[in-house]
A and B are shown apart, each in its own frame.
Chain A
Amino acid sequence: MKPEAIRVDEDGGRALAAWEIVSVLISCLIAEWVVLAFVGNSKLVGSIPVALALALMSFSHLERGESFRDLGFRFDNFLAAARLLILPTVIAGALILLLTWLMRGQQFHFADFRLRLLTVPLWALFQQYALQGFINRRAQLAVGRGLKSVLLVALVFSIVHLPNPLLAGLTLIGGVIWAAVYQRSPNLFALALSHAAVSLLLALSLPADLVYNLRVGLKYFG
């Protein structure tokens, strides 16, 4: 299936798209680092930068005339995207299991399943929407479709997972794969399934001290 091209504007449009990426990235960093440092785990204050980012993203979609279908909330290309994702997801899962097996003295051990983990697929869908449905599309506007925009998306994804070294590294690799797949076959549901599967495997199998309960930002330090 031929991917739908994203219209690339003149230089001003490229700069604007880059600014949009930086703006959303800054909102994430404010939520992860500044709010936590200043007011602790206040969900109310923490929701302000997230709400600002979502408002900007929604407004940008409207201004650019992007529909839900354009963003990847669709089913017609689900199988095409799933076919692209199945192999890297299986390989990632196998590597995580192998790493777990080696780190736990050649034994498998899975943490207890917590109800909280049921929200992982929804959280994965939200992250993939922000990452691909917004950042990836703006990256394509800013630097064009292909390797540069794929790397830019992966870098942004990795930065928001700092300072957790394992997550920053894994999201850099995952970001490259997911961004490349999105550019070929933009389907957020397939991406969210892949993302959720890898996240659940990480959360359930790897020792908590290694992934540090998947904490990022200032929360990583305790």
Chain B
Amino acid sequence: MKLAQALIAKSIAETVLVASLAVVLYLNAFPPSLHGWGEVQPHGISGWAVNHSDPWQRLEVQLFIDGKFVSNATANQSRPDVMAAGWARDEWHGYNFKDLSLDPGIHLARIYALHSSRREAHQTLQILGDPIWFTVDEAGVLHSWSEITLRKIR
């Protein structure tokens, strides 16, 4: 009976160990302290990105459109509105992707923050904000679309 209890205790200890390792790994790879947002502008996509656990860090962000990498940038441009809203301690957390050269039609953009962990042995991409639906007209101007509108169209 004592042996069965020891086996149960060992199983519980191992379950706790594996679960703890999984949570620690996840938090290291995808820290919940990364925040940001992106929005469509007539000639590009702009937004902001902050790391609340390192407020002075200028995050590197990557733009993917329709699932493909397009460009990367450092979020170090002035966004006083982000600081005023309490999201950042200083205003230098903005980014702006211009001259995207996209075909006319409907597109989906995603902005990711690049994060390094385990002494840069691992690099992960974490999405910032929501995916951004938009259209490009014949003149190459971008227009924002809400997902609801897109569903109605389809």
Interface residues of A (CB under 8 A from B): 16, 19-20, 23, 26-27, 30, 34-35, 38-40, 45, 48-49, 52-53, 55-56, 59-60, 63-64
B17 touches A48 (CB 8 A): yes
Question: Given contacts A40-B118, A56-B7, could you give 6 more A-B pairs where the C-beta distance is less than 8 Å?
Answer: A23-B7, A34-B21, A38-B21, A38-B25, A40-B121, A60-B6
B3 touches A63 (CB 8 A): yes
A19 touches B21 (CB 8 A): no
Main secondary structure on chain A at its contact with chain B? helix
**Number of B positions contacting A (CB below 8 A):** 17
Closest residue on chain A to residue B23 by CB atoms:
A38
A16 touches B11 (CB 8 A): no
B contact residues around A35 at 8 Å (CB): 21
CB < 8 Å: which of A26, A39, A45, A56 contacts B6?
A: A56
Q: B115-129: which residues lie under 8 A (CB-CB) from chain A?
A: 118, 121
Residue in B18, B22, B24, B121 whose Cβ sees the most chain A Cβ within 10 Å: B18
Closest approach, in angstroms, between the C-beta of B1 and any C-beta of chain A? 9
A52 touches B14 (CB 8 A): yes
Interface membership of chain B positions 1-16, coded 1 if the CB is closer than 8 angstroms to chain A and 0 otherwise: 0111011001101100
Closest approach, in angstroms, between the C-beta of A203 and any C-beta of chain B? 28
A contact residues around B6 at 8 Å (CB): 56, 59-60, 63
State in angstroms the CA–CA spacing of A35 and B21 once bound together: 8
Closest residue on chain B to residue A35 by CB atoms:
B21
Q: B1-50: which residues lie under 8 A (CB-CB) from chain A?
A: 2-4, 6-7, 10-11, 13-14, 17-18, 21-22, 24-25
State in angstroms the CA–CA spacing of A52 and B12 once bound together: 11
Answer whether A26 and B14 are a contact pair too, CB < 8 Å, given A38-B21, A40-B118.
Answer: yes
Closest residue on chain B to residue A45 by CB atoms:
B21
B contact residues around A26 at 8 Å (CB): 14
B contact residues around A49 at 8 Å (CB): 14, 17
CB < 8 Å: which of A39, A40, A63 contacts B2?
A: A63
Nearest first, the 10 closest Cβ-Cβ pairs linking A and B are: A38-B21, A38-B25, A63-B3, A56-B10, A59-B6, A52-B10, A19-B7, A23-B7, A34-B18, A48-B17
A38 touches B10 (CB 8 A): no
A60 touches B14 (CB 8 A): no
A contact residues around B118 at 8 Å (CB): 40
Closest residue on chain B to residue A13 by CB atoms:
B3
CB < 8 Å: which of A16, A27, A45 contacts B4?
A: A16
Closest residue on chain A to residue B4 by CB atoms:
A16
Closest residue on chain B to residue A17 by CB atoms:
B3
Q: B72-120: which residues lie under 8 A (CB-CB) from chain A?
A: 118
B contact residues around A19 at 8 Å (CB): 4, 7
Closest approach, in angstroms, between the C-beta of A6 and any C-beta of chain B? 15
State in angstroms the CA–CA spacing of A45 and B25 once bound together: 13
Closest approach, in angstroms, between the C-beta of B44 and any C-beta of chain A? 39
Residue in B2, B3, B22 whose Cβ sees the most chain A Cβ within 10 Å: B3
B3 touches A59 (CB 8 A): yes
Closest approach, in angstroms, between the C-beta of B8 and any C-beta of chain A? 10
State in angstroms the CA–CA spacing of A19 and B5 once bound together: 12
A contact residues around B22 at 8 Å (CB): 38
B contact residues around A64 at 8 Å (CB): 3
State in angstroms the CA–CA spacing of A39 and B6 once bound together: 27
